[in-house]
């Protein structure tokens, strides 16, 4: 299945999450920037509040799209040790790249939320949304962050994921919704006709 765009994917996910419609204590969290478009459509359909959880990929040397790990806005770091060990990625590189991503996270917190941190989440059902998952490092960092928040329930909702990432992530959450896990998974963008980059101003507008 190929989605028209992120809005289309979000609406399809919302149909499968209809049992959360108008439920109190449910909040939808999008992973910026791409995941926020889907989260916006879900929150709108379910009549739930929308917010974000800022997580940044720690790029592989020479290939920033390949995740050596990820860091969240609360400081949680998740590393892809298989990739790091296989390619002997240095500790110095990881520390330098992590520091750079923390700077970008600080910039986004100021831009997206006016400097405020993650909203209170204790006792809530959180629906965590992204536009797709390849290695899973970014969403695993988000999950690790949320597992420290005493949630009532953690739901992960994705339009597409690699089979390997799906197996790993599904075991870590209370409810797993993924519309497809194709064999021979390629880049997330290959499952969208329109995968135009979401800009900062788009995220700010949706949050407002």
Pairwise CA distance, residues 182 & 166, whole Å: 10
Q: What is the pLDDT of residue 137?
A: 82
Helices (H), the chain: 6-16, 34-46, 81-86, 91-113, 137-146, 163-170, 200-207
- Report whether 172 contacts 145 (CB < 8 A): no
Q: What is the pLDDT of residue 136?
A: 87
Q: What is the pLDDT of residue 25?
A: 95
Q: What is the pLDDT of residue 19?
A: 96
Query: Using one digit for the tens of pLDDT, what is the confidence trace for 13-59?
Result: 999 999 999 999 999 999 999 999 999 999 999 999 999 999 888 98
Provide mean pLDDT across the span 149-160: 96
Q: In what order do the strands lie in the sheet with 77-79?
A: 55-60, 63-72, 77-79
Burial 94-129 (b: 16+ CB within 10 A, else e): beebbeebbeebeebbeebbeeeebeebeebbbbbb
Query: Using one digit for the tens of pLDDT, what is the confidence trace for 160-197?
Result: 999 999 999 999 999 999 999 999 998 999 999 999 99
Q: What is the pLDDT of residue 75?
A: 85
Q: Which domains, ranges and CATH numbers included, belong to the chain?
A: 6-54+113-207 (3.40.50.2020), 57-108 (3.30.1310.20)
| Mean pLDDT computed over every residue of the chain | 93
Q: What is the pLDDT of residue 97?
A: 93
Q: How confident is the model at residue 74 (pLDDT cuts 50, 70, 90)?
A: confident
Query: Using one digit for the tens of pLDDT, what is the confidence trace for 92-130?
Result: 999 999 999 999 999 999 999 999 988 889 999 999 999
């Amino acid at each position: 299945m190929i989605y028209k765009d992120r809005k289309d994917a979000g609406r399809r996910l919302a149909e499968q999450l209809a049992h959360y419609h108008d439920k109190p204590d449910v909040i939808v969290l999008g992973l910026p920037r791409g995941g926020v478009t889907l989260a916006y459509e879900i929150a709108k359909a379910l009549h739930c509040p929308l917010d974000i959880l800022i997580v940044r990929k720690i790029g592989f040397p020479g290939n920033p799209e390949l995740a050596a790990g990820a860091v969240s806005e609360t400081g949680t770091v998740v590393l892809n040790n298989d990739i790091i060990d296989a390619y002997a990625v240095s500790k110095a590189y990881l520390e330098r790249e992590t520091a750079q991503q923390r700077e970008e996270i600080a910039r986004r917190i100021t831009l997206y939320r006016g400097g405020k941190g993650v909203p209170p989440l204790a006792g809530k059902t959180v629906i965590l949304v992204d536009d797709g998952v390849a290695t899973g490092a970014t969403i695993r960092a988000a999950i690790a962050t949320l597992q420290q928040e005493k949630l009532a329930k953690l739901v992960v909702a994705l339009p597409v994921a690699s089979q390997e990432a799906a197996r790993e992530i599904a075991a870590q959450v209370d409810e797993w919704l993924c519309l497809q896990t194709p064999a021979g998974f390629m880049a997330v963008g290959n499952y969208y006709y329109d995968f135009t980059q979401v800009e900062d101003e788009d995220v700010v507008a949706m949050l407002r």
